[in-house]
Copies of this chain bind each other. A is one copy, B any other.
Amino acid sequence: MANIKDVAERAGVSVATVSRVLNGNSPVAETRERVLAAVKELGYRPNNVARALRTARTGTLGLVISDLTNPFFTELADAVEDAARGLGYSLVIGNAGERPAQQDDYIRTLLDRRIDGLLVSSAGTGSAMLGEVVASGTPLVLLDRTVPGIDAPCVRADGRAALTDLAAHLAALGRRRPAIIVAPAGTPTGDERLERFRTALADHGIALPDERVGATPDLQPSGGRRVMRDFLDLPEPPDAVLATDNLMALGAMDELRARGLRVPDDVALVVYDDVPWFAHTDPPLTAIAQPTRDLGRAAVQTLLARIEGRPAPDVLLPAHLVPRRSCGEPPTP
């Protein structure tokens, strides 16, 4: 591939002039046409590696996502990528697959590649490598999941209003024995959802006892199914279940079907994360929808602020309840 020297030779100018014409940093008059002609004839494209070395800017952002095959994160990654591209950045996606070791591996690689900034939706609870990112001075923004002790802005959804609405919704429909399927205790996201759901239910005089709080080790259908099995074996099984992640909801549905129970007649089902599929299930699932695309956009904007040295506060965007038929009320079309 042609380099800047080839262009300079062909145009009969120095490499500095070619660079100036292409970057428009300082005025170039007479020779401009000749340079542009040479660029076109040779099909010259600046080598981004060399440019990055010199300018210490790669034009690349990194995104480490906890599980790319989880539709919520797929959509989030897609939104981040759209936003980044719109601002002239390209994006390197690393998929941690919910494995902290792999996550650290990826962060390491991205730092070595000298990306301009890093977005992380962290798998697991903590990460030694995240401390290193901060120490290295690479701008960092946490996405969807906070990490205690890490000094970086966090962009995520605020589910409180939605959970309040959900409690009211379930109360209005006469559900009295709610249950919740959460990630293992200790994960900030899960704890917060549980806490808030419980509080909101209490406002309607409904209790959420510990035996109807089921934790799964992994965010997978199998875990959701196991918890639902335990719920249904209770002396007083729940009449409404909130799964705080979409994959766990799938497993929960499987168990219900296996027992011949019907949604919403026997058990109401609500899912956190409104992935497109849930509008196509039978019945369509009531969901708590996170503003995924807005989250992606806000995350990139926050990261850009950090890159440019501007102040970047946390961002909390409201999630909202999307009532469908899985709680018993007909949807308002």
Residues of A whose CB lies within 8 Å of any CB of B are 1, 45-50, 52-53, 58, 60, 68-69, 71, 74-75, 77-78, 81, 85, 90-95, 97, 105-106, 108-114, 136-137, 221, 250-251, 253-254, 257, 276-277, 280-282
Copies of this chain, whole number: 2
A-B contact pairs, 21 of them (CB 8 A): A1-B136, A45-B108, A45-B112, A47-B53, A48-B113, A48-B114, A49-B58, A49-B113, A49-B114, A50-B53, A68-B74, A68-B77, A69-B74, A71-B71, A78-B95, A78-B97, A90-B106, A90-B113, A92-B93, A253-B280, A282-B282
> Which of B48, B74, B112, B251 is within 8 Å of A47, CB to CB?
B112
Q: Which of A46, A58, A114 has the most CB of B within 10 A?
A: A114
- Other A-B contacts than A1-B137, A48-B112, A48-B114, 16 sampled, CB-CB below 8 A, are A45-B111, A48-B113, A49-B49, A49-B53, A49-B58, A49-B113, A60-B92, A69-B78, A71-B71, A71-B74, A78-B95, A81-B94, A90-B113, A250-B277, A257-B282, A282-B282
CB pair B58–A69 under 8 Å, yes or no, is: no
CB pair A46–B112 under 8 Å, yes or no, is: yes
Q: Which residue of B lies closest to A110 (CB)?
A: B90
How far apart are the CA atoms of A297 and B113 in the complex, in Å?
Answer: 24
Min CB gap A251→B, angstroms:
8
How far apart are the CA atoms of A130 and B109 in the complex, in Å?
Answer: 28
How far apart are the CA atoms of A92 and B93 in the complex, in Å?
Answer: 6
How far apart are the CA atoms of A105 and B95 in the complex, in Å?
Answer: 23
> Which of B69, B71, B112, B250 is within 8 Å of A280, CB to CB?
B250
How far apart are the CA atoms of A26 and B69 in the complex, in Å?
Answer: 43
How far apart are the CA atoms of A44 and B324 in the complex, in Å?
Answer: 55
How far apart are the CA atoms of A47 and B115 in the complex, in Å?
Answer: 11
How far apart are the CA atoms of A93 and B53 in the complex, in Å?
Answer: 22
How far apart are the CA atoms of A112 and B137 in the complex, in Å?
Answer: 26
Contacts of A60 on B, CB cut-off 8 Å? 92, 113
Contacts of A97 on B, CB cut-off 8 Å? 78
Min CB gap A79→B, angstroms:
10
CB pair A47–B114 under 8 Å, yes or no, is: yes
Contacts of A45 on B, CB cut-off 8 Å? 108, 111-112
Contacts of A78 on B, CB cut-off 8 Å? 68-69, 95, 97
How far apart are the CA atoms of A45 and B137 in the complex, in Å?
Answer: 14
How far apart are the CA atoms of A232 and B106 in the complex, in Å?
Answer: 50
Contacts of A109 on B, CB cut-off 8 Å? 90
Q: Which of A92, A93, A221, A281 has the most CB of B within 10 A?
A: A93
Known contacts A68-B77, A74-B68; decide if A49 and B47 are in contact (CB<8 Å): no
Going nearest first, the 6 A-B pairs with the smallest beta carbon separation are: A250-B280, A48-B112, A93-B93, A49-B52, A49-B53, A48-B113
